[in-house]
Amino acid sequence: MATIAENKIKKVYSINFGCRLNQYESISIETSLQKSDWEVSENIDDADYIIINTCTVTNRADIKNRQAIRKAKRENPNAQIIVTGCYATTDGKKLQSMEEVSQIVGNNQKSFIPSILNNKNISNFSDSISEQSIFEYQSPPIIKNARSYLKIQDGCDKKCSYCKIPVARGKGISRNYQTIESEVKSLLETGYQEIILTGVNIGHYKNNNGANFNDLLQNLNNVPGNFYYRISSLEPDHLNEDLINILNNEKFARFLHLPIQSGSDKILKLMKRPYTATFLKKSLDMIKNKAPFIHIGTDVIVGFPGETEEDFQETIKMVEYAGYANIHIFPFSRRSGTSIDEQLNDPLSNIKPVNGSIIRERINRLTEIKNKLYINYLKNSAGITFKAIIESVDFKNATIVTENFMKLSLPVQKNFKKGMMINVQYDEALNCSFIDHRD
């Protein structure tokens, strides 16, 4: 891979799209550059290089990527633009046709961007995904964001019929436990008190010694210190009683995000999701019995090809049964190269797209239910003491994020500072108060 920087170039500006994993990688790239005397600029117009870390989860994400590239070049015509991330990996040929793009760096080489900019010879690095290329990231030496991400896994071996991410991120690969523990300790020394475990499919974690996700969490639970972990997102089929028991420990946030995508067995089968509605209900019952105040969020795709009104009603029944604290609602986004796209292109297939107006109407109905469920969760969790992290402080108020992911404000106390862990309670009107001990 050719180098594109000269030593005199020292200013970089980054733009990030997509998931927590992308955020972790962007922050780590900035950290590495700062350690080699680069300045991470807060202004796009004075940067020598602009790094755009892309997402490709939906068609809308692809559009936003291209818009951002063109806008960046308009705002800083003299800058060199490096495009990386998932869209750069899956659609590099499209990006090559954009005159604004100086260089494309796929996900498997993303961690080497600091070396590229520092004119180091990286020709000995393989283009294939390896533990070195995937996990060669550095933690920030100071508290940049109030809460820190930690990458434990990448890639996905699942073959969901609608998803491009396995193409963008490759097969599942897990990070060595010793390096995870080392980074946890480094983050604690920096002062972080919430560490967000992230990856593409973290429940699939399995290191070279055969340790699985539950083993990893149990080991991380033994790391001493006054802090807690947050599980970023977990596929429902990885949920089990042992995992819930681990998550009930003080070292873990009372938070789970379980993307179900649909409550209809027919649609789940078309999506190639490895569970049924019955499995989901049993899992939810298990969570509620063991962790009654936990925030459970989910993702739902509305208007998947072949979805009837009856199928949609099954999804409504599921979300109401679960009582989700939050639902991320997505209209179906057709992605080239996926198996559902191939079915839709087959004139003999009996799977047909859902009309756009029907999708919009269903999204509106589901949004109303989402709002009601949020209010119900708020009522049920009001008056309970939760851990929280202070995200910002001014002379009057502190903005916080609780372990159950409520973003709130409360009157500032004398010793409050960014990144500090405190205990709080809130009422149904979201009035928040500081509690100086756990009940």
Q: Mean pLDDT check: name the lowest of 59-68, 204-213, 276-285.
A: 204-213
Looking at domain 139-251, its CATH architecture is 2-Layer Sandwich (3.30)
Instruction: Tell me how crowded residue 413 is: count the other CB atoms within 10 A of its CB.
Output: 13
CATH fold of the domain at 254-381: Transcription Regulator spoIIAA (3.30.750)
Specify whether the CB–CB gap between 86 and 107 falls below 8 A.
Answer: yes
pLDDT of residue 3: 44
- How would residue 1 be classed by pLDDT, with cut points 50, 70 and 90? very low
Residue 5 has pLDDT above 70, yes or no: no
- Are 139-251 and 254-381 equal in CATH topology? yes
Give bridge partners of residue 389 from the DSSP assignment: 401, 421
Tens of pLDDT along 164-184? 999 999 899 999 999 999 999
Topology of domain 382-435, CATH: OB fold (Dihydrolipoamide Acetyltransferase, E2P) (2.40.50)
3-state secondary structure of 141: coil
Q: Provide the pairing of β-strand 397-402 with 407-411.
A: antiparallel
Rounded distance, CA 177 to CA 124, Å? Answer: 26
Domain boundaries, the chain: 1-133, 139-251, 254-381, 382-435
Lowest mean pLDDT among 19-33, 276-290, 302-316: 19-33
> How high is the mean pLDDT of the chain?
91
pLDDT for the residue numbered 355: 97
Query: How big is the chain by its Cα radius of gyration, in Å?
Result: 22
Residue 327 has pLDDT above 80, yes or no: yes
Query: How does residue 124 score in pLDDT terms, banded at 50, 70 and 90?
Result: very low
Q: Determine the topology of domain 1-133 in CATH.
A: Rossmann fold (3.40.50)
Confidence band (pLDDT; 50, 70, 90) for 309?
A: very high
Q: Quote the Cα angle for 383-389-394, to 5°.
A: 100
